[in-house]
């Protein structure tokens, strides 16, 4: 879970519904977390974690109304929005009598749901809101050293975070995909004087060019087909806090000039609007590309680049800080043990050697995926064979190029060989197309005729870095 905005607990056993709501809330600057049963929900509420709760009436482990009653006993001002797929007056009456803030019936309009959550948190008494955490952290209340490692390279990054956090400088965070740039942005925000206000993220590579301006600045009713009412953009949502623009190199050129003007004047117009909107926002951006090179090529605004470059932080790739690999692997092992209720003791010596010898082209994100899969498969100890799942090397004895390191194809079914081969082919095709689009995931998705969510998932799954590189992880 991130700590970048108001914390919303989603309690529902319908995993598809939870995933949709999770993405909606995260996109709008919230920090959502999910519980699929009532018992887990009660534990999370008792820990004082959420700022609001979206609670299904029927959840396993404890009735939704029991969870609601417990929540109100712990904190009568905690807003709980009850959700049901079976609308009825009796349920609504019971919900409001027990202290629910609202009672919503599925299907729920996405925008209405987000606005109701925002309204519920805004109306919560200020004195009851949790005080902002100070200090540098990136996940829960862990220090950044615990999350990212304690190598000299990371300690230098942490020193830079501490130095710039207290200021209002605009920051460029540079580094390969999977190195933890968003964690750095969160850490800067949380250690700043703006931490009681939201950190609102926007992935510039995920927004079609035609929608970019309305996503950034919002729009008025009737501004374009489908604009049914006034909608706030990310700039407005971040008022008082921090706007985090990820993959800034993918921002359309015509939007760059409007962003520059908004930064300098602290004023902008919604799409279709006539009245200026004034905001107080700090800007942090991240990129996995060389912005200065893009400036020279004419694909990134020189003026915007100079305005953003008040302070620069470079997050080193994992291959340049190998002393962090074991620490990170043990952390992922412990977290996955807890998640899966397993008791894997650790890594064998040969498994540790495997971890240390890998180039980790997908950086920390790839390492995390590999360790999680290994914990799922392992018994007492993680062995090298548990660390090869999903990797794209050659199966000995076959001229195709499926997946596992030095493993033999003997004993594998045709179905399993085909599955592993598909993984390898997908990974290599994605690398080639992303290289062609210079890391623009939205453009790559259009070329491959898949949606953005699918390509984003596969990039994470396969630990793909968006830097131009060969399939073996070595830069050209």
What confidence tens digit (pLDDT) does each residue in 409-431 have? 555 667 767 776 777 778 878 88
SS3 at position 313: strand
The whole-chain average pLDDT of the chain stands at 81
Sign of CA dihedral 149, 154, 158, 159: positive
Cα–Cα distance, 205 to 215 (Å, whole number): 12
As to burial, measured by CB atoms within 10 angstroms (0-12 exposed, 13-18 middle, 19+ buried), residue 54 is: buried
Name, in order, each residue with C-beta under 8 angstroms of 19's C-beta and a sequence gap of 6 or more. none
Segments of the chain assigned to CATH 1.10.10? 392-476
| Token duo for residue 325 | 């690999």
Q: Which of 61-65, 371-375, 413-417, 446-450 is least confident?
A: 413-417
Q: Return the pLDDT at 173.
A: 97
Where would I find the H helices in 298-348? 302-308, 325-340
Confidence of residue 128 (pLDDT cuts 50, 70, 90): very low
Work out the average pLDDT over 327-347: 92
Confidence of residue 155 (pLDDT cuts 50, 70, 90): very high
Cα–Cα distance, 136 to 442 (Å, whole number): 32
Work out the average pLDDT over 343-361: 88
Work out the average pLDDT over 346-362: 87
Class of domain 7-128: alpha beta
Cα–Cα distance, 375 to 329 (Å, whole number): 11
Cα–Cα distance, 277 to 273 (Å, whole number): 9
What CATH number should be reported for the domain whose range is 144-316?
3.40.50.300
Class of domain 319-355+366-389: mainly alpha
β-pair type (52-56, 267-268) = unpaired
Work out the average pLDDT over 265-277: 90
Segments of the chain assigned to CATH 3.40.50.2300? 7-128
Segments of the chain assigned to CATH 1.10.8.60? 319-355+366-389
Q: Return the pLDDT at 462.
A: 74
Confidence of residue 132 (pLDDT cuts 50, 70, 90): very low
Sign of CA dihedral 44, 48, 50, 53: positive
Segments of the chain assigned to CATH 3.40.50.300? 144-316
Q: Return the pLDDT at 18.
A: 87
| Token duo for residue 421 | 């081969």
Q: Which of 61-70, 161-170, 408-417 is least confident?
A: 408-417
Q: Which of 102-106, 135-139, 343-347 is least confident?
A: 135-139
Q: Return the pLDDT at 184.
A: 95
What CATH number should be reported for the domain whose range is 392-476?
1.10.10
Q: Which of 62-66, 364-368, 463-467 is least confident?
A: 463-467
Residue 315 has pLDDT above 90, yes or no: yes
Q: Return the pLDDT at 42.
A: 81
């Amino acid at each position: 879970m991130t700590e970048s905005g108001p914390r919303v607990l989603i309690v529902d056993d319908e995993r598809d519904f939870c995933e949709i709501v999770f993405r909606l809330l995260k996109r709008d600057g919230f920090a959502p977390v999910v519980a699929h049963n009532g018992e887990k929900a009660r534990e999370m509420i008792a820990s004082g974690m959420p700022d609001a709760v979206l609670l299904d009436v029927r959840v396993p482990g404890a009735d939704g109304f029991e969870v609601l009653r417990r929540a109100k006993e712990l904190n009568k001002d905690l807003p709980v929005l009850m959700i049901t797929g079976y609308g009825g007056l009796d349920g609504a009456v019971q919900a409001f009598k027990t202290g629910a803030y609202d009672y919503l019936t599925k299907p729920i309009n996405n925008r209405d749901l987000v606005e109701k959550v925002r309204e519920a948190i805004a109306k919560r008494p200020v004195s009851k809101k949790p005080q902002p955490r100070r200090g540098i952290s990136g996940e829960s209340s862990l220090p950044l050293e615990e999350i990212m490692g304690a190598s000299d390279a990371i300690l230098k990054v942490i020193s830079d975070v501490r130095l710039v956090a207290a200021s209002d400088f605009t920051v460029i965070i540079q580094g390969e995909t999977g190195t933890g740039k968003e964690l750095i942005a969160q850490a800067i925000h949380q250690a700043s004087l703006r931490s009681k206000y939201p950190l609102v993220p926007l992935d510039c590579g995920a927004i079609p060019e035609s929608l970019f301006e309305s996503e950034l600045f919002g729009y008025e009713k009737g501004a374009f087909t489908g604009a049914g009412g006034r909608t706030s953009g990310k700039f407005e949502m971040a008022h008082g806090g921090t706007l985090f623009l990820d993959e800034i190199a993918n921002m359309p050129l015509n939007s760059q000039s409007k962003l520059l003007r908004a930064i300098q004047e602290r004023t902008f117009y919604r799409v279709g609007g006539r009245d200026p909107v004034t905001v107080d926002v700090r800007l942090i951006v991240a990129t996995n590309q060389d912005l200065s090179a893009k400036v020279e090529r004419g694909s990134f605004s020189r003026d915007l680049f100079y305005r953003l470059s008040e302070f620069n932080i470079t997050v080193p790739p994992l291959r340049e800080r190998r002393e962090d690999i074991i620490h990170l692997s043990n952390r992922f092992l412990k977290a996955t043990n807890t998640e899966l209720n397993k008791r894997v003791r650790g890594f064998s010596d040969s498994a540790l050697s495997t971890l240390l010898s890998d180039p980790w082209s997908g950086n920390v994100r790839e390492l995390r995926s590999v360790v999680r899969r290994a914990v799922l498969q392992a018994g007492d100890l993680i062995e090298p064979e548990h660390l090869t799942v999903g990797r794209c090397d050659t199966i000995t004895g076959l001229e195709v190029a499926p997946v596992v390191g030095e493993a033999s194809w003997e004993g594998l079914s045709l179905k399993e060989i085909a599955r592993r081969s598909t993984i390898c082919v997908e990974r290599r095709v994605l690398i080639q197309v992303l290289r062609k689009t210079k890391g623009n995931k939205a453009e790559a998705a259009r070329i491959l005729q898949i949606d953005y969510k699918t390509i984003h998932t596969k990039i994470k799954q396969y630990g793909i870095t968006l830097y131009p590189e060969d399939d073996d992880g070595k830069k050209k």
